[in-house]
Amino acid sequence: MALKTGKQYLESVADLKLEAHMLGRKSGDLGEHGLVQPSQKAVAFTFDAAHDPATRDLFCVESSLCKAEINRFTHLHQSAEDLVNKVKMQRYCGAGTACCFQRCVGLDAANAIYSTTFECDQKHGTDYHQRFKDYWSWIQQNDLVVDGAMTDPKGDRGKRPKDQVDPDLFLRVKERRPGGVVISGAKLHQTGMLNSHEILVMPTLTMRPGEEAWAVCCAVPTNAEGVRYIYGRQASDTRKLEADPLDVGNPFGGQEVMTVFEDVFVPDERVFLDGEVDFSGTLVERFASYHRQSYGGCKVGVGDALIGATALIAQMNGVAGASHIKDKIVEMIHLNETIFSCGIACSATGEATAAGNYLVNLLLANVCKLNVTRFPYELARLATDVAGGLLGTMPSAADLNDPVAGPYIKKYLAANPDFPVVDRMKVLRLIENLVAGAGAVGYLIESMHGAGPPTAQRIMIGRQADLEQKVARVKNMLGLV
């Protein structure tokens, strides 16, 4: 099948007839729903970019499985160059949408599962790797969107999965039937789930002996029987329902849901890990590292949009020439490019796995993500500083269009005469969206908790830094015993 266009993608998702509980009611026709439509538009951007002559070479690549031309968002990385191009692609998408474009999790999950299943088969004599190759070749040939689902509710954080009062607080294999398994549980914070065709379910932590039921990895269609979706609120999310797009701030957007798996049957050919606790940690670690690399691209792209909007509002406010404004914008650029540098570094130093696809440098990927837990917040602070207090007090589009209030708004919100008042309001709304509104979920909260919170990166950095070798080299240099 040929690469989908954005329009064809939207049609294919509509054909799934997904439903979700949203703001107290069950909703269908999600592509027409104001809370979902902006996020589907962001995903469609990733399809159209594969047809744009300016970006086609970055987004299109030959599959190592089916040998057909595919979208890089379904690619199994075959070189360090592929890893680098992934980050460049993500930056382009982030800059073009100023939001999460929702295809990274599935891409990162696929690459982690590919190498993990290969090694599991080598040790245990299972056939998970061939199952996954067949499945993922089908994904590539049909140009599908896959959401990775890792984060369990976790219940009492002081207890292991087997010790929870409710065993479903970590997703598990509840029952075995001829030809497959039945899974039960939930996954939280699922970005872009309502815009996906498929789900890759993964364990959320390293399982131990006795926790085999929770060591499960499998693929489930988003419209499978027993899968339910509950929309997660975002700051100012009902802005997306405004009649005038001016108050929305960004025509693109994201959404997250709680995904419930209520006794969902998964056939054997879609099961890629089932009780092998010794490989659950490998899968988690590799997925997390790929996803931490991703943030060196996607969050940088959103940062590009925020920097551009900040520079533009400085011009509109008439302060672009002030030295302190210039310095703040340069600091924003410095922080953003530092993140990008880490994303490129962990990619360029990636190495082949036993399965043949490439894995990022684990240490540098975690350094990248740890920077992401800090720098976007500073970028947001600087953008807020430069933009001014109008971010929090600007009148609505309805008042702008009001025959009585509108003229006052246009008179008193005028600044640099080279820019129309309405254009200034549009830029302020975009900045507001990114630093305090619905867009801040994808840019700030996701920067902190997506792919794991700061402590998770610190743990990995401590493991990967080879501190003992550093100590040994100093001892050797100084002739110490």
CA distances from 304 to 83, 97, 131, 393, 443 (A): 20, 10, 40, 25, 12
The answer to whether 66 is a known catalytic residue is: no
pLDDT digits (tens, 9 = 90+) for 133-176: 999 999 999 999 999 999 999 999 999 999 999 999 999 999 99
If we measure between CA atoms, which residue out of 282, 309, 101 comes closest to residue 203? 282
* Whether residue 327 has pLDDT greater than 80: yes
295 has catalytic annotation: yes
Alpha carbons 304 and 204: distance in angstroms, whole number: 32
Task: Give me the half-sphere count of Cα atoms (radius 13 Å) on the Cβ side of residue 443.
Answer: 34
pTM of the shown model: 0.97
Whether 77 sits among the annotated catalytic residues: the reply is no
Catalytic residue among 99, 298, 342, 368: 298
- In 268-323, the DSSP E strands lie at 271-274
Rounded to whole angstroms, the Cα distance separating 115 from 76 reads 10
Which member of 93, 99, 100, 217 is catalytic? 100
Catalytic residue among 229, 291, 346, 368: 291
Tell me how far the alpha carbon of residue 115 is from its chain's centroid: 21
What is the mean pLDDT of the segment spanning 38-42? Answer: 98
Q: According to the model, what pLDDT value does residue 1 have?
A: 63
Residue 243 in this model has a pLDDT that exceeds 90: no
Is residue 225 among the annotated active site residues?
no
256 a catalytic residue: yes
Residue 468 bears catalytic tag: no
Mode of pairing for the β-strands spanning 198-201 and 146-149:
parallel
**All residues at 6 or more sequence positions from 243 whose CB lies less than 8 Å from its CB, including other chains:** none
290 given a catalytic annotation: no
191 is in an annotated binding site: yes
Task: Using alpha carbons, list the distances in angstroms from residue 234 to 26, 231, 381, 391, 440.
Answer: 18, 9, 20, 18, 9
Q: Is 346 a catalytic residue?
A: no
Domains of the chain, each with CATH number or no CATH? 6-280 (2.40.110.10), 292-472 (1.20.140.10)
- Could you read off the pLDDT of 394-447 as tens digits, one per residue? 999 999 999 999 999 999 999 999 999 999 999 999 999 999 999 999 999 999
Q: Does the structure show a pLDDT above 80 at 315?
A: yes
Terminal CA-CA length for the chain: 65
Which residue in the list 191, 353, 373, 384 is annotated as catalytic? 191
How many percent of the chain have pLDDT more than 70? Answer: 100
The one catalytic residue in 92, 231, 295, 443 is 295
The active-site residue out of 211, 276, 432, 446 is: 446
285: left (phi over 0), alpha (psi -120 to 50) or beta: alpha
SS3 at position 99: coil
pLDDT band at 481 (very low <50, low <70, confident <90, very high): confident
The identity of residue 477, as a single letter, is: M
Q: Where do runs of H (alpha helix) occur along 349-466?
A: 362-372, 375-387, 397-400, 405-412, 421-435, 439-440, 446-449, 454-464
The mean of the pLDDT values for the chain is 97
